[in-house]
Amino acid sequence: MQRNKNRAHAASLAIELASHAAMGIALGLGFCFALLLIEPANVAALISHTDQPRTTAIMLVSFFALLFGAGATMTGIIFTTMDRADRSDGN
């Protein structure tokens, strides 16, 4: 009985963390898209003047998606752990 409860707990934790990661990746993609469209940053012109602009753009988008996704996942771990600790205390 205890083993099934632990599996359910781990599965729900994994789903919560996956949702935090997905939200972070979406936020990172949105940030990168906004960065490319803001004219004062001039990032699009810098990318277009490189030897391989497609590779540079993919690396930029991947970097921000991974950065925001990892940050949101770590934040989700902290928030989920704190929330579950509060629930187990009876509050």
Q: How far is CA 65 from the centre of its chain?
A: 6
Taking residues 71-90, what's their average pLDDT? 86
Q: How much of the chain exceeds pLDDT 90, in percent?
A: 51
Q: What share of the chain is helix, strand, coil (3-state, %, to 5)?
A: 85, 0, 15
Taking residues 13-31, what's their average pLDDT? 91
pLDDT in tens, 55-68: 999 999 999 999 99
Residues 55 and 72: their CA atoms lie apart, in Å, by 26
Q: Is the pLDDT of residue 11 over 60?
A: yes
